[in-house]
Amino acid sequence: MSVPPESVVPPPSSDPLPPSGSPPQDERLWATLAHLSALAGLLVTGAWFGWGCFIGPLIIWLVKKDSMPFVDDQAKEALNFNITVAIIGVILLVLSIITFGIGLLLAIPAGIVIGVAWLVLTIIAAIKANEGTRYRYPFALRLIK
């Protein structure tokens, strides 16, 4: 006996994305918040003690990584980028200290350029995540895999 094709139920898909190929709205929101939480962390901890820039993406990644694949990807991306920027900041600080302040001639302009790039790239990443597009920062060490 054969079963009519319209009565056969397809197996559930293992793909977490809806048929349109775009992540659900709640995942896009959380991914956007993962990027923007870096800005909030900087505002809360201050520009000189801006270690908060990677605390927000870290918390979102730890909480949502198992249940939302798009958020897992974007929060890791935000976390890696902010850790990279923090490492660069530490290098510039150390350069300034070991040269007894002469390194500030390089560190201050580099810090301004890096700060503006950080702000612009973070906003672009948040916009792309809100659109459902996986964003990759152009210069980020992939420390968290």
d(CA 113, CA 121): 12
Residues with Cβ within 8 Å of residue 132, at least 6 apart in sequence: 22, 23, 28, 70
DSSP code of residue 20: T
User: How do residues 65-109 score in pLDDT, each as one tens digit?
Assistant: 889 899 999 999 999 999 998 888 889 889 989 988 888 888 899
Residue 137 domain-assigned (yes or no): no
Residue 141 domain-assigned (yes or no): no
**C-beta of residue 70 within 8 angstroms of C-beta of residue 34:** no
Is the model's pLDDT at 120 over the cut of 90?
yes
Angle at 116 between CA 132 and CA 55, to 5 degrees: 60
The fraction of the chain above a pLDDT of 90, given in percent, is 37
Is the model's pLDDT at 145 over the cut of 70?
yes
Residue 143 domain-assigned (yes or no): no
Instruction: For residue 6, name the pLDDT band (cuts at 50, 70, 90).
Output: low
Residue 83 domain-assigned (yes or no): yes
Q: Which domain holds residue 37?
A: 23-129
User: How do residues 29-71 score in pLDDT, each as one tens digit?
Assistant: 999 999 999 888 877 766 555 667 888 888 899 998 889 899 9
The region of weakest confidence among 7-11, 15-19, 110-114, 127-131 is 15-19
Instruction: For residue 5, name the pLDDT band (cuts at 50, 70, 90).
Output: low
Concatenating the DSSP letter of every residue in 66-103 gives: TT-HHHHHHHHHHHHHHHHHHHHHHHHHHHHHHTTTTT
Residue 33 domain-assigned (yes or no): yes
Residue 14 domain-assigned (yes or no): no
Residues with Cβ within 8 Å of residue 27, at least 6 apart in sequence: 68, 69, 70, 71
- Enter the tokens of residue 86: 């923090």
Residue 101 domain-assigned (yes or no): yes
Residue 4 domain-assigned (yes or no): no
- Higher-pLDDT residue of 30 and 16 is 30
**What global pTM score does this model have?**
0.78
Domain count, the chain: 1
**What's the number of CA atoms in the CB half-sphere (13 Å) around residue 101?**
0
